[in-house]
Amino acid sequence: MTVQTPTPFPLSDTLPEQVHFDRAELSMILTLYGRMVALGEWRDYGISALRDMAVFSVFRRTAENPLYRIEKRPRLRAKQGMYAVVGMDGQILRRGADLAAVLRVLEKKLIRPID
């Protein structure tokens, strides 16, 4: 009787890869987040790494829906740009290939008029 050794299950072929923000992207997002927290505008965040996109959600309070979602969708890289800022109502506020340019739509709140 011969004993067969099982072949290892190829995990990389069967499990979907997840999309993540890299260190430089997270640094830009967290810098903006820190400034908005200092202003009292934002208080909490959540990060999701999904199969087709990564999402950084920003909350005013912990138990509510996100104020904004910063999304990374690599499949849209060649079409509309892989970064997007989505508002609370689901409206896309800005989309593009450069994360810094896309985040500028949220930085408008940082510039306050002097009273």
Tokens at 7, concatenated? 């072949």
Token reading at 95: 């989309």
Q: What is the pTM of this model?
A: 0.77
Is residue 108 classed as helix, strand or coil in its secondary structure? Answer: helix
**What's residue 112's pLDDT?**
57
pLDDT (0 to 100) of residue 15 = 47
What gap in Å lies between CA 20 and CA 71, rounded to an integer? 10
User: Strands 68-72 and 54-59: what pairing?
Assistant: antiparallel
- Give the pLDDT of the chain (115 residues) as one tens digit per residue: 666 666 655 555 544 588 889 999 999 999 999 999 998 888 899 999 988 999 999 998 766 789 999 999 988 888 888 999 998 888 999 999 999 999 999 887 555 555 5
- Please say whether the beta carbons of 43 and 60 come within 8 A: yes
